[in-house]
Amino acid sequence: MAFSEKFANYLIDIKNLDNEDEKDILKYGSEVFFTTICGTTITLLIGWLVGVIYPLWAILLVSIIVRKLAGGAHSEYPISCFFITAFFYTLIAFLAIKTQFFFEQYKNTVIFLASMIALIVISKKAPVESLAKPLGFYQKKQLKLFSFIAIILLIVIQISFLYLQLYPLINYAISLVLIWHALMLLPLGQYLVSYIDKFYLMLKEVNLNEKN
């Protein structure tokens, strides 16, 4: 049994909860809370070890806002999810640092292209729901509007940074992560996540076979 479920059961025992709905909500809250805390901590730890913690903070902050409002592709297994979160966000931060010279030369073009891609994809595709969490009609409408507003605000922040010549690395990292989230809203992103899931299943089978 996962730690999150054990902890929820501990709370249920102590609080003497009988209501099945309350139990389900606590178990769900526990799973969401601990997977988010673990995912974020592991990502930040890897980012710190690789030396990319500075742009990684901005990437995570933007990701929290965009994913919460626009949704995106999801992994079926927590382990491959940790891998996707930790590996790809660290990779984006690493790329931002290593290709910063490119941004210095073409900053207007990069920000314009990334903003347009994010705006077009979000207006067409957001919110992308997962099978595990279907969305209602009004909830979809609200999330579409809020995700659009969030992207507009992010673009305003980016343009302000650009003209005030503040935080160029953060600005570039935001552009890269917006492109990543646009990809995650498209079928291509879902294929990528499902391939990582398949790879994880394959590794699991190999491990099981070796043990047997």
Amino acid identity of residue 44, one-letter, is L
Binding to another protein by residue 31, rule CB under 8 A? yes
Binding to another protein by residue 68, rule CB under 8 A? yes
Write the DSSP symbol of residue 123: H
- Give the three-class secondary structure for 131: coil
Nearest to another protein of 100, 140 (CB atom): 140
> Contacting another protein (CB under 8 A), which of 3, 6, 49, 77?
77
CA distance 204 to 1: 18
Reading phi first (left if > 0) and then psi (alpha if -120 to 50, else beta), residue 51 is in left
Distance of CA 46 to the CA centre of its chain: 16
Residue 184: CB minimum distance to another protein, A:
8
Of 98-157, binders to another protein (CB under 8 A) are 126-130, 132-135, 139, 143, 147
Applying CB under 8 A, the span of 19-27, 96-104, 106-114, 156-164 interacting with another protein comes to: 19-27
Applying CB under 8 A, the span of 36-44, 51-59, 99-107, 156-164 interacting with another protein comes to: 36-44
Binding to another protein by residue 47, rule CB under 8 A? no
Judge contact between 143 and 135, C-beta under 8 A.
yes
CA distance 126 to 160: 26
Binding to another protein by residue 32, rule CB under 8 A? yes
Of 82-101, binders to another protein (CB under 8 A) are 82, 84-85
CA distance 54 to 174: 12
CA distance 111 to 157: 11
Amino acid identity of residue 3, one-letter, is F
**CA 204, 63, 1: angle at the middle one, nearest 5?**
35
Binding to another protein by residue 39, rule CB under 8 A? yes
Sole residue written with tokens 């929290």: 64
Residue 210: CB minimum distance to another protein, A:
26
Binding to another protein by residue 166, rule CB under 8 A? no
Instruction: Point out which residues bind another protein (CB under 8 A).
Output: 7-8, 11, 14-15, 21, 24-33, 35-36, 39-40, 63-64, 67-78, 80-82, 84-85, 126-130, 132-135, 139, 143, 147, 193
